[in-house]
Amino acid sequence: MSRQPSVICVVGARPNFMKIAPIMRELPRAGVRPILLHTGQHYDHALNQAFFDDLSIPKPDIELEVGSASHAVQTAEIMRRFEPVLDASDAGAVLVVGDVNSTVACALVAAKKCVPVIHVEAGLRSGDRTMPEEINRIVTDALSELLFVTEREAIANLTREGVAPDKIKFSGNVMIDTLLEHAAAAPDAADVLATRGAQGGDAGSAEFIVLTLHRPSNVDEPEKLAGILNALRVCAAGTPIVFPVHPRTAAQIDRFKLSRLIGAPDYIALPPVGYLEMLGLIKGAKFVATDSGGLQEETTALGTPCITLRDNTERPVTVSEGTNTIVGSDPKTIPARVAAALANGGKRGHVPELWDGMAARRIAADVASYLSRPEMAGPT
List the catalytic residues. Answer: 214
C-alpha distance from residue 167 to each of 116, 143, 255, 307 (Å)? 12, 11, 46, 34
The residue ranges of DSSP E strands in the chain, in sequence order, are 6-11, 33-38, 62-63, 93-97, 117-120, 146-149, 168-170, 209-212, 241-244, 267-270, 288-290, 306-308, 324-326
Q: Give, in degrees to the nearest 5, the angle at Cα 243 between 237 and 249.
A: 120
Q: Which amino acid is at 7?
A: V
Burial track 63-97 (b if 16+ CB lie within 10 A, e otherwise): ebebeeeeeeebbebbbebbbebbeebebbbbbbb
Spatial distance between the Cα atoms of 201 and 284, rounded to a whole number of angstroms: 16
Query: How many angstroms separate the most distant Cα atoms in the chain?
Result: 69
**DSSP reduced 3-state for 168:** strand
Inter-residue contact 97 to 175 (CB < 8 Å): no
For the sheet containing 288-290, what is the strand order? Answer: 267-270, 241-244, 209-212, 288-290, 306-308, 324-326
Pairing of strands 324-326, 306-308: parallel
Inter-residue contact 27 to 3 (CB < 8 Å): no
The residue ranges of DSSP E strands in 282-347, in sequence order, are 288-290, 306-308, 324-326
